[in-house]
Structure 1
Amino acid sequence: MTTRILLIDDETEFVTTLAERLEIRGFSSTTAEDGEAGLALIRKQPFDVVILDLLMPGMNGLEALKQIRQISPKLPVILLTGHGSTREGMEGMRLGAVDYLMKPLAIEDLMEKLQEAVAP
């Protein structure tokens, strides 16, 4: 079975490239450009894991994470943070994220986190 990933990130070029790299590795990727769009997708279809950017205009990643927890409490979420900020990543884990990665990220690190997130 193909792992279904939802990528929520406002950086269009980054998220498009990441989706392509994940699909090459056998994952099914759906993208959303902001928290609201991501939440709408989660309400409509099942995903195995969410990769969520913390710093987005409008609804930030932490707020989106809180709402994801209400919609789908067991859905694994991996946070992405840039700007050298680990504080938000730690806060995200307190709110139920599986882990966080710093941007720019190495695809190998992400693959490792994805494997951990979807492991039974």
Structure 2
Amino acid sequence: MEDGLKTRVLLVDDEEDFLSVLSERLEARNLKVSQATGGEQAVEIVDQKDFDVVLLDLSMPGMDGLETLKKIKADHPETEIIILTGHGTVQAGVEAMKLGAEDFVEKPVDIHVLMEKIQDAREKHVLVMQEKSREEIEKILKSKSW
């Protein structure tokens, strides 16, 4: 994350103290962090703004993490999502990965491990977006009769 562009992260968790503390820790590491306190709010925010990585709590009231993951991936398949949970099971992690999560991290979060996973997810997001742009440029060039 040494490059000049800050990694844009959406942190989604219903525990406001956790949300606040982790946001501060990520911002101290030069990430641009937005917050959502639930799945519905996260989906609305992702619909309005592009993120490199979404850090998504698995266990939330209302729309849980798996349902939120499904909705975000349905409309924004290029979005990289890392599942965070204090109530994780291997089965839930496997299910999240099958649904398109980039990775799975249990709370309490080791900030160094999380930063590595965010970096990996951001790099993958950048590559996906570059490929998408390349395909769009090729499509435009093929449609022109030069």
**Shorter-chain TM-score tier:** over 0.9
Identity of aligned residues (%): 47
Cα contact 1:69–1:75 (8 A) shared by 2? yes
For 2:87 and 2:61, how far apart are their aligned partners in 1?
15
Of 83, 86, 95, the residue aligned with 1:82 is: 86
Contact 1:81-1:89 at 8 Å conserved across structures:
no
**Pairing partner for 2:21 from 17, 26, 33:** 17
**Given that residues 8 and 35 in structure 1 are in contact (C-alpha distance below 8 angstroms), is that contact kept between their aligned partners in structure 2?**
yes
SS of structure 2 residue aligned to 1:97: coil
Stretches of structure 2 that go unaligned for 5 or more consecutive residues are 128-146
Match of 2:69 in 1: 65
In the TM superposition, residue 81 of structure 1 has moved relative to its aligned partner by 1.7
- Answer yes or no: is the 8 Å Cα contact 1:6–1:49 preserved in 2: yes
Q: Where do 5+ consecutive residues of structure 1 fail to align?
A: none
Higher Rg: 2
Equivalent residues of 1:47, 1:75 under 8 A apart: yes
Q: Could you tell me the TM-score, scaled by structure 2's length? A: 0.80
- Give the structure 1 partner of residue 42 of structure 2: 38
Output the TM-score relative to the length of structure 1: 0.97
More helix by share: 2
